[in-house]
Amino acid sequence: MLSGWVIIVAAFAYILLLFAVASYGDRRSRVVGVPKIGRPVVYALSLAIYCTSWTYFGGVGLASRRGIEFLGIYIGPILMLT
């Protein structure tokens, strides 16, 4: 079994890796001058990943317990990202 500090360090390292990749991509797009044509694709993929993870981890259980209230999990991010 893993110690608590190992899990915390691994989670922190993963978050740092995600920020490093995002920072690199942001800097590269400014230097290269990436056209904004690909932005809708990035939006669609990020929204699909978000909604997929929520469906997998909690949307189904929330829908079975509270009914229509689970739609807030999906409608909130859609409104926020558009």
What pLDDT does 13 receive?
A: 92
Please, how many CA atoms are within 13 Å of residue 46, restricted to the half-sphere of its CB? 11
What pLDDT does 6 receive?
A: 92
What pLDDT does 37 receive?
A: 65
Hey, what amino acid is at 26? D
Write out the H or E segment, with its range, that includes residue 34. Answer: none
The stretch 68-82 carries a mean pLDDT of 77
Q: Tens digit of pLDDT for each residue in 19-68?
A: 888 788 777 777 666 666 666 777 777 777 776 776 677 777 888 888 88
Instruction: Record the pTM.
Output: 0.47
For residue 77, how many other CB atoms are within 10 A of its CB?
A: 15
pLDDT category of residue 9 using cuts at 50, 70 and 90: very high
Nearest of 51, 34, 33, 54 to residue 43 by alpha carbon: 51
Q: Which DSSP category does 33 fall into?
A: T
Please, how many CA atoms are within 13 Å of residue 48, restricted to the half-sphere of its CB? 6
